[in-house]
Amino acid sequence: MFGYVTANTALLSADELARWKGCYCGLCRSLASLGGRCRLTLTYDLAFLTLLLSSLYEPEECAAFARCPRHPFVKQPSWCNEATDYAAQMNVLLTREKLLDDWHDDRNPFARAAAAALRSPAEAAAKGFPRQAQAIRGALDKLYELEKSGAPDIDAAGACFGALLSELFVWKQDRWEPELRAIGDGLGRYIYTLDACLDLPADRKKGRYNPLLGLAPENAVTEHFRPALQMLLGGAAGGFERLPLVRDTRILRSVLYSGVWARMPTVEKKEAQP
Amino acid sequence: MRDPYEMLGVSRDASDEDIKRAYRALAKKYHPDLHPGDKEAERRMKEINDAYDRIKNDQTGDDGGAYQQQQSYGQQSYGNYGPFGGFYGNYRQNESQEPNEIRAARNYVNAGHYQEALHVLSTMEKRDADWYYLSALANYGAGNRVAALQHAQRAVQMDPEDPEYQQLLLQLQNGGGSMSKMGAISAWV
């Protein structure tokens, strides 16, 4: 995905930082268990999902302390549970579908090769979670159609990605489904819109499709969209605060209220240059 | 209808975290998986769920089932969730140049997480009028009334033209009284 959904580690205590890193390492280990290449798909976005679902359902955890290809010299603490394994499978599913898209859109041979390497674990995940697999495919197909039509419509495009993520956030269809959907929807729309913001200058220069074209004046910068981004995240925050979470809440809030904005300074720097 | 706080076994001024803890403990106790076919446990579980929903709906100003609908249209705005409601507003003209920490602090304040807001603010060296304004809000929310008043005064000193700073100072000087009239009052006052 995009890697936007990450913690602001500067706000975390040493224990919280270890917990967050352990979540990420656990996700990586769970990915490795799905097949050798899966490890390369690791993103922070799904680490957030792991931590959120772990806090909500509190499944039994198993801790590990070991070396791995990413950390070949120093042993790393990590923890895994059922939520980690779920997030790992979603990660593989999502990455493979995106790679297939890249192959179809740009005829990128690397995307095709990478997608082929993920075929077997992705198909297994799709079999285990058909609802999520269908939602991913459906949303990406719809995005493709929107792009082909050439009509810039950020709300429609953002809604596609919101629908995709909300389906992923609903692990078990229980009483927390509306809240989890709100978080997934808000984050999905936010991620999509932020990504479009970041691409806008280059897309404009090269005459490519961008869902924000026409919405902003010719020389508008990312800041123009800040109120919209803030509003989209508000939907996610509202769902989050309704969930009865007590564990790891400081880490989760450091993602939702701070970490997700981390890309903005990069943009500002880029914009400052002539 | 019984008081939802009483049903969860917490006092009316319990913190958000205490309410969530109490709910979790009771939900674990009466979870249907532990009591298959037990009608009484099922009834209790439903009661606990309803109580939790009612408290949450009160906090966010939602009326029950409206939650789902509102979410799906994406009409909720950031400010609606915190006790300051539309008080701080979602957007300020000069927001575009603000540092990340200020933005994070505002998000925390809007969501009612005052300690986190104070923590972020404490990491900043540059303290302008907006810093003092946010610090005043965060301090007030955290129960630090004197610090809140001092910081609001400082914000007004630094930027006497800003109507929002003046309004906050006035409200604090009135003992926070008019805050409640604006719908900004919440469980923590």
pLDDT tens digits for range B2-41: 899 999 999 998 999 999 999 999 999 998 888 888 889 9
Asked whether the beta carbons of residue A182 and residue B80 sit closer than 8 angstroms, the reply is no
Q: By the CB < 8 Å criterion, does B104 face chain A?
A: yes
Q: By the CB < 8 Å criterion, does A172 face chain B?
A: no
Which structure tokens are listed for A7? 């913690």
How far lies A121's CA from each of A31, A70, A95, A135, in Å?
10, 21, 11, 18
Nearest to A246 among B17, B49, B67 (CB): B17
Nearest to B24 among A246, A257, A258 (CB): A246
Q: Which residues of A61-86 are buried (b: 16+ CB within 10 A; e: fewer)?
A: eeeeeeeeeeeeeeebebbbbebbbb
| B23 interaction partners in chain A (CB closer than 8 Å) | 244
Nearest to A265 among B80, B100, B116 (CB): B100
Greater confidence (B127 vs B81) lies with B127
Q: How far is A91 from chain B (nearest CA, A)?
A: 25
Q: Tell which B residues from 48 to 77 touch A, by Cβ distance under 8 Å.
A: 49, 52, 56, 60, 67-68, 71-72, 74, 76-77
Q: By the CB < 8 Å criterion, does A39 face chain B?
A: no
DSSP B136: H
Q: By the CB < 8 Å criterion, does B11 face chain A?
A: no
Total residues belonging to chain A: 274
| A250 interaction partners in chain B (CB closer than 8 Å) | 116
Q: Tell which B residues from 116 to 155 touch A, by Cβ distance under 8 Å.
A: 116, 119-120, 123
* Confidence band, pLDDT 50/70/90 cuts, at residue A154: confident
B59-101 tens-digit pLDDT: 765 544 433 333 333 333 333 333 343 344 444 445 556 788 8
A9-121+129-259 CATH, one of 1.10.600.10, 3.80.10.10, 3.40.718.10, 3.40.50.1000 = 1.10.600.10
Please state the ipTM of this predicted complex: 0.85
Cβ neighbours, 10 Å, residue A189: 29
Question: How many whole angstroms separate alpha carbon A23 and alpha carbon A51?
Answer: 7
For chain B, domains (ranges, CATH) are 4-73 (1.10.287.110), 78-181 (1.25.40.10)
Question: How many whole angstroms separate alpha carbon A88 and alpha carbon A167?
Answer: 15
Q: By the CB < 8 Å criterion, does A226 face chain B?
A: yes
Q: By the CB < 8 Å criterion, does A253 face chain B?
A: yes
Most confident of A42-56, A59-73, A217-231, B164-178: A42-56
Q: Tell which A residues from 59 to 88 touch B, by Cβ distance under 8 Å.
A: none
Average pLDDT over residues B95-115: 84
According to the model, what pLDDT value does residue B78 have? 32
| A242 interaction partners in chain B (CB closer than 8 Å) | 56, 60, 67
Under a CB-based contact definition with an 8 Å cutoff, are residues B26 and B9 in contact? yes
Q: Which residues of B147-168 are buried (b: 16+ CB within 10 A; e: fewer)?
A: bbbbbbbbbbebbeebebbeeb
According to the model, what pLDDT value does residue A161 have? 92
According to the model, what pLDDT value does residue A125 have? 95
Interface test with B, best of A8, A60, A176, A258 (most B CBs within 10 A): A258
A158-201 tens-digit pLDDT: 889 999 999 999 999 999 999 999 999 999 989 998 988 888 88
Q: How far is B174 from chain A (nearest CA, A)?
A: 31
Asked whether the beta carbons of residue A10 and residue B123 sit closer than 8 angstroms, the reply is yes
Q: Does the pLDDT at position A116 exceed 80?
A: yes
Q: By the CB < 8 Å criterion, does B80 face chain A?
A: yes
| A57 interaction partners in chain B (CB closer than 8 Å) | none
Under a CB-based contact definition with an 8 Å cutoff, are residues B77 and B90 in contact? yes
Q: How does the average pLDDT of chain B come out, rounded?
A: 75
Under a CB-based contact definition with an 8 Å cutoff, are residues B49 and B64 in contact? no
Which structure tokens are listed for A40? 């390369």
According to the model, what pLDDT value does residue A270 have? 52
Burial of A14 (0-12, 13-18, 19+ CB in 10 A): exposed
Residue corresponding to tokens 């095709």: A112
Asked whether the beta carbons of residue B81 and residue A237 sit closer than 8 angstroms, the reply is yes
Greater confidence (B41 vs A151) lies with B41
Nearest to A230 by CA among B106, B4, B136, B148: B106
Q: Does the pLDDT at position B188 exceed 50?
A: no
The domains of chain A are located at: 9-121+129-259
Which structure tokens are listed for A110? 């690397």
Nearest to B78 among A233, A245, A262 (CB): A233
Asked whether the beta carbons of residue A244 and residue B27 sit closer than 8 angstroms, the reply is yes
**Residue of chain A whose Cα is closest to the Cα of B122:** A11
Q: How far is B181 from chain A (nearest CA, A)?
A: 23
Q: How does the average pLDDT of chain A come out, rounded?
A: 87
According to the model, what pLDDT value does residue B60 have? 65
| B92 interaction partners in chain A (CB closer than 8 Å) | none
According to the model, what pLDDT value does residue B174 have? 63
Asked whether the beta carbons of residue B113 and residue A265 sit closer than 8 angstroms, the reply is no
